[in-house]
Every structure is written in C-alpha cells, then in structure tokens.
C-alpha cells in the first residue's frame, strides 16, 4: 500500500468549505472530501508542531513522550509508526520545508529517507517519483508555507477574501511582520509576544486583514493538495491518503494570536479527510484524534502488535461502520490540558491534578523552566472551564457549575489519562540542532 499523510501546518478545520466555512478557500479539498471520509470532530494532541507530530507517529499521549522543545527526540523504548513499517518492508520518508524536522539527530531519524522540499515546481515530480519507487511506502508529507506565519500569499488572492468594509492597513507593524516572506530585525515571535502579553493590541481591521491573508494561503495550498491526491491515485494500485494539520491557528478569538499557547478549538480542531482506495464518501461525527492514525494504519494492514498504544483505531469508520461514542480526545499545552468527549470539553491544567514536583517530571532536566511552565503555579488557582461545543462552539460560556455531573465525568477521564502517563513516561533524548536550523527557527518565530 502507498500511504501518504499530507500535513498542512496550522490549517484550521473551520476555515475549509467542507467544514462549513462561508468563504471559498478550499474548492479542491472540498471536492476530495465529498468523495472521501470526512471526520467532523478530529483533534490534535498539542497546540504546536513537535509534540503533535511525535504523539501522532508514536500513538501516545504527548506528556508520556516528554517532548518540550525542538532539540529533543523521544525515548527509544517507544515504537514509532515509520520505523515499525520499515521493519515490515515499507519504504518510509519525510518531505518537509522545516529544517528542524530534518535534524538527523531527531525526528527525521525515524524515516529511511528525508528530503527538504518546498512548494515549488519540484514538489509534484518529486512526489510522483517517490510513489513509483515502491508498492509499499509511507510518506509523511509536511508543508508549512502560506498557512503558517508569515502569511505571504499573493496580494491578488488576499483581495478575494477581504470584506468590502475592510481596508488594507497602512503602515501596520503587525501586518508588515506577519505577512512578509522575509521579515527582518523584529521577529514574528517578538510581535506575537507583544500581542499575547497585551503590550500591543491589534485593531479589528488588522485581524481581518491577517485572516484574509491566511485564507488566501489556504486557497494557494488547495490546488497543491488536489495535485498530490491525483498523483497518488494515478500511481497506486492500493493507497491510503490522509489530509490533516498538526494544529490550527488563533486570530484573537480568545485574546491570543498564533499557536503554542491556548487549547481552544481554533488551535486544536483540525481537518481529517481520508481516502482509502476510493472506498466511500460519508461523514463521521464521533470524536477522533491524530494519535489514532498509528493504530488505524496497523489495523488496515492487518498487523498484530505486542505493544500498547494510547490511540484507538478508526479503521471501522473507513468501512462505513459507526465508532464508539465514548471515545475521548486529550490535548497538552503545558501547563494546560484538556479532554473532549461527546462534544463536551474540559479545559484545565496539570496542577489541578498533580503537585508541582510531579508535574516537573514532564520538564526536561537539561532545559530551563520557561515562563509558560511557571504560569502553571498561577493558573492552578483559576476555575476549570467546561464547554458544550454543540451549543457554544466559540467556547465562551463556562458551564462547569451548571453541569456538575459531566464536569465530574471529564475530570475522571483526565485522571485516567494522567495515571497512564505517569506509569509510561520516559525521559526523552537530547538532539542538538545546528546553526542552519536555529536560523530557520528564528525566521519562523520560534526563537
């Protein structure tokens, strides 16, 4: 089987037409979704790339893997999907423009082949050549341009998504930095930090313009997704195609911008569109999560395993069968955590369940404790938030006091997860990064 997991970094589900978005950002993705299996409620396990990706390929809860920054690699005790498939004779590879994911000391070491690949005229021929190499292959195809900040889509495309009442902001430092392909001096992280600490407040007009740039980026990526899907169909007798995102992107819905901070749905709810040999077209309403991908592929390939995965297979949904309504999704945004079940979501922190000494186990001893970790000492005194996502998709109405039984049930779910985490967590390994990687991380706003 040729397996392609196509990941569009920062792609929000609710900005795609197939998920109900009112603007025409994704005509080709919508067409694929109409002929495939569309998961309506799919969630990432983290609000930023590294723990999300590692959770996905290991099928484990993020805190179990103890990945807190870019210079770490999960413990060798854990089984990862690409290595497992390689042992079964699969050709495995990763295509990405992110140098950090190509670090031979870390993430790319789990694949037999790794290639730095941007969205240009070489991408499609490279993919076609890859598919022709072997009848059994696994490709982790990651793109992080246009939709990940900076949002540098063509200005003509941006105009397509601007409301008539929205003018182009003149001399806006925020817009200039977040939409320039070559940001100089002031980094993306600097401006995002100022916004997220309320030292700089973007106007409504600036936010609307940034969203238009983001939507234009999706529109640009949309054709590429379609081309990849077509090549996979043309060159494969047996194939599995998945379109996902590692996380979403916030635009001040809850007073922050970007990703890596909160655990609201603008950064957690992601698209999951699956074409399994053109076997059916329907929608799946039950909750699933990205770490379910590992067990799903294993079940589809009919392999027997002797190791434990935290994810649950959704293979039966690809065959038109209903999933269990009791499935949960868990996400980590240290010190914050959340659990989602039956469209109810509990947003809380580790320190509501662990003391700081226990919590500190998920922090690497060779890393300094960052400000966001110390925030846990403050946020533990705040109220937990419970949302009914069917009635309040914007997550603004905390119903924890009105729905005490549901609150209690979701607290029990979190406790079960954290008990599993404590019993299985393993120290991650150091994976040094070079100067080229550091330079790209700076350009992307991570340093």
Flag whether pLDDT at 185 surpasses 50: no
Find out whether 289 and 330 touch, Cβ atoms under 8 Å.
yes
Flag whether pLDDT at 186 surpasses 70: no
Q: For residue range 153-182, what is the model confidence (pLDDT) as tens digits?
A: 999 999 999 987 777 777 899 999 999 887
pTM for this model (two decimals): 0.92
pLDDT at 250: 97
Find out whether 131 and 2 touch, Cβ atoms under 8 Å.
yes
pLDDT-derived band at 11, boundaries 50, 70, 90: very high
CB crowding 45-84: b at 16 or more within 10 Å, else e: bbbbbbbbbbbbbbbbbbbbbbbbebbbbbbeebbbbbbb
> What 8-state DSSP symbol labels residue 194?
H
Query: Does the N-terminal peptide bond of residue 150 adopt cis geometry, omega within 30 degrees of 0?
Result: yes
> What 8-state DSSP symbol labels residue 127?
H
For the chain, what percentages of helix, strand and coil (3-state, to nearest 5) are there? 40, 20, 40
pLDDT at 61: 96
> What 8-state DSSP symbol labels residue 111?
S
pLDDT at 264: 97
DSSP string, 209-240: HHHHHHHHHHHHHHHHHHHHHHHHHHH-SSEE
The three state secondary structure string of 357-420 is HHHHHHCCCCCCCCHHHHHHHHHCCCCCEEEECCCCCCCCCCCCCCCHHHHHHHHHHHHHHHHH
Q: For residue range 269-300, what is the model confidence (pLDDT) as tens digits?
A: 999 999 999 988 999 999 999 999 999 999 99
Residues contacting 260, CB < 8 A, separation 6+:
47, 48, 333
- Cα distance between residue 241 and residue 98, in whole Å: 22
Find out whether 20 and 237 touch, Cβ atoms under 8 Å.
no
Q: For residue range 363-421, what is the model confidence (pLDDT) as tens digits?
A: 654 344 455 545 545 555 678 999 999 999 999 999 999 999 999 999 999 999 999 99
- Cα distance between residue 125 and residue 399, in whole Å: 52
pLDDT at 425: 86
> Which is higher by pLDDT, 370 or 134?
134
Flag whether pLDDT at 354 surpasses 80: yes
87: left (phi over 0), alpha (psi -120 to 50) or beta: alpha
What number is the average pLDDT over the span 69-82?
A: 87
Where does residue 375 rank: exposed (0-12), middle (13-18), buried (19+ CB within 10 A)?
middle
- Cα distance between residue 146 and residue 213, in whole Å: 8
pLDDT-derived band at 361, boundaries 50, 70, 90: confident
Assess if CATH 3.40.50.620 describes domain 2-319: no
Residue spans of the domains in the chain: they are 2-319
Flag whether pLDDT at 23 surpasses 80: yes
> Which is higher by pLDDT, 79 or 106?
79
């Amino acid at each position: 089987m040729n397996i392609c997991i196509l990941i569009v970094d920062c792609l929000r589900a609710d900005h795609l037409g197939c998920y109900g978005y009112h603007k025409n950002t994704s005509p080709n993705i919508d067409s694929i979704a109409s002929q495939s299996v569309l998961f309506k409620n799919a969630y990432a396990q983290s609000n930023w790339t590294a723990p999300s990706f590692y959770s996905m390929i290991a099928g484990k809860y993020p805190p179990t893997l103890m990945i807190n920054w870019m210079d770490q690699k999960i413990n060798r005790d854990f089984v990862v999907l690409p290595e497992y498939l390689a042992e079964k004779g699969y050709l495995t590879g990763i295509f990405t423009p992110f140098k950090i994911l190509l670090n031979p000391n870390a993430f790319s070491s789990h694949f037999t082949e790794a290639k730095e690949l941007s969205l240009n005229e070489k991408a499609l021929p490279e993919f076609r050549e890859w598919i022709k190499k072997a009848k059994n292959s696994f490709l982790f195809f990651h793109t992080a341009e246009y939709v990940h900040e900076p949002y540098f889509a063509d200005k003509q495309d941006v105009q397509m998504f601007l409301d008539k009442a929205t003018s182009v902001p003149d001399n806006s430092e925020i817009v200039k930095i977040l939409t320039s392909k070559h940001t100089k001096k002031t980094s993306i992280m600097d401006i995002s930090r100022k916004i997220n600490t309320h030292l700089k407040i973007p106007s409504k007009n600036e936010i609307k313009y940034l969203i238009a740039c983001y939507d234009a980026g999706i529109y640009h990526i949309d054709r590429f997704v379609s081309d990849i899907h077509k090549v996979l169909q043309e060159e494969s007798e047996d194939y599995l195609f998945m379109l996902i995102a590692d996380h979403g992107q916030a635009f001040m819905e809850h007073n922050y911008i970007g990703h890596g901070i909160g655990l609201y749905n603008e950064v957690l709810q992601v698209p999951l569109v699956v074409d399994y040999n053109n076997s059916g077209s329907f929608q799946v309403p039950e909750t699933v999560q990205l770490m379910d991908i590992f067990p799903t592929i294993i079940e589809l390939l009919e392999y027997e395993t002797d190791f434990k995965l935290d994810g649950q297979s959704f293979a039966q949904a690809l065959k038109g069968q209903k999933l269990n309504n009791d499935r949960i999704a868990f996400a980590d945004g240290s010190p914050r955590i959340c659990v989602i079940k039956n469209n109810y979501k509990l947003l809380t922190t580790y320190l509501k369940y662990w003391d700081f000494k226990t919590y500190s186990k998920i922090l690497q001893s060779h890393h300094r404790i960052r400000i966001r970790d110390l925030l846990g000492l403050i946020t533990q005194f705040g109220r937990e938030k419970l949302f009914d996502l069917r009635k309040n998709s914007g997550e603004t109405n905390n119903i924890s006091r009105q729905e005490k039984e549901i609150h209690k049930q979701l607290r029990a779910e979190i406790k079960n997860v954290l008990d599993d985490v404590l019993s299985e967590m393993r120290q991650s390994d150091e994976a040094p990064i070079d100067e080229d990687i550091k330079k790209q991380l700076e350009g992307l706003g991570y340093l």
